[in-house]
């Protein structure tokens, strides 16, 4: 690396200072000279903050939580340890999340972002219109009990419309509803594979083969049953159908 830097500096000095100009960057921190400059700096700060929080927002405002938890339960129920690998399950959850949320994102773009880019509406109105499709989606998939919990904690009255519900109430309500739904689906996934484990364990005990791990014998049968029922097709189809 040092040799490469010396070669570059030597090449620049060979060409001469008049032909090659090295740009400089100024990172000076100073008070803004005008309100417009302050607003521009704050806009950049907000944009960088949103980009930094984007992965977290994907987790809490979409169906990613439901998908990735159910896939984790499935792997545990099958007993295949690290197969499929975690990276593959996360990518599959991301792809399905994009598939489900694409109509919502399109509505948000058409309602808020596109008019803002065309300078037809202001920043605050664009934010409200962009967030509204996501609010509607989260409300449809949130239990009233969970929403009422956070409204009661904040000591807020029941809102008359979705627009009146702040995101600070909708997001945590949606997250715990998704967690409950994912655990319910995971419990239903465990039941048939648990039955296979119990049957195999009973057979081994009746044959006096107590030293042989039942998981080793049950694993091929569980994989075979999952293949015969076309498990991935059935699971993903019902997961998507469960989303309102």
For the entire predicted model, the pTM comes to: 0.72
Average pLDDT estimate for 43-68: 74
Task: Quick: pLDDT tens for 196-241.
Answer: 878 877 877 777 776 667 677 778 888 888 888 888 888 888 888 8
Distance CA 93, CA 148 (A): 29
Task: Quick: pLDDT tens for 62-87.
Answer: 888 899 999 988 888 888 877 788 88
* Residue 93, pLDDT above cutoff 70: yes
- Residue 183: which pLDDT band, with cuts at 50, 70 and 90? very high
Distance CA 147, CA 84 (A): 35
pLDDT at residue 3, rounded to an integer: 43
Distances 33 to 1, 26, 27, 159 between C-alpha atoms, Å:
41, 16, 16, 43
Average pLDDT estimate for 145-166: 80
The three-class DSSP label of residue 23 is: coil
> Which has the higher per-residue pLDDT, 165 or 240?
240
Residue with tokens 């594979």: 193
pLDDT at residue 14, rounded to an integer: 40
Distances 50 to 28, 43, 71, 83, 118 between C-alpha atoms, Å:
24, 11, 28, 34, 21
> Which has the higher per-residue pLDDT, 26 or 100?
100
Q: Nearest Cα to 90, choosing from 105, 75, 102?
A: 75
The top-scoring range by mean pLDDT among 27-36, 40-49, 135-144, 158-167 is 135-144
Distance CA 157, CA 74 (A): 40
* Residue 57, pLDDT above cutoff 80: no
Instruction: Work out the percent of the chain whose per-residue pLDDT is above 70.
Output: 74
């Amino acid at each position: 690396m040092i040799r490469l830097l010396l070669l570059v500096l030597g090449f620049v000095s060979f060409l001469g200072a008049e032909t090659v100009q090295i740009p400089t960057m100024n990172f000076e921190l100073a008070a803004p000279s005008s309100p417009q400059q302050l607003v521009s700096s704050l806009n950049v700060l907000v944009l960088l903050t949103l980009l930094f929080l984007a992965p977290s927002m994907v987790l809490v405002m979409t169906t990613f939580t439901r998908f990735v938890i159910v896939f984790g339960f499935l792997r545990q129920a099958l007993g295949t340890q690290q197969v499929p690998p975690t990276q593959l399950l996360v990518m599959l959850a991301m792809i399905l999340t994009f598939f489900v949320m694409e109509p919502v994102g399109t509505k948000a773009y058409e309602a808020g972002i596109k008019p803002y880019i065309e300078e037809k509406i202001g920043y605050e109105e664009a934010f409200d219109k962009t967030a509204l499709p996501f609010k509607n989606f989260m409300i449809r998939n949130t239990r009233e009990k969970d929403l009422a919990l956070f409204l009661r904690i904040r000591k807020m009255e029941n809102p008359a419309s979705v627009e009146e519900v702040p995101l600070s109430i909708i997001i945590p309500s949606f997250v715990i509803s998704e967690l409950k739904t994912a655990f319910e689906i995971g419990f239903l996934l465990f039941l048939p594979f648990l039955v296979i484990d119990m049957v195999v364990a009973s057979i081994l005990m009746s044959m006096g083969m107590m030293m042989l791990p039942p998981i080793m014998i049950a694993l091929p049968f569980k994989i075979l049953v999952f293949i015969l029922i076309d498990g991935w097709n059935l699971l993903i189809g019902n997961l998507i159908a469960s989303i309102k």
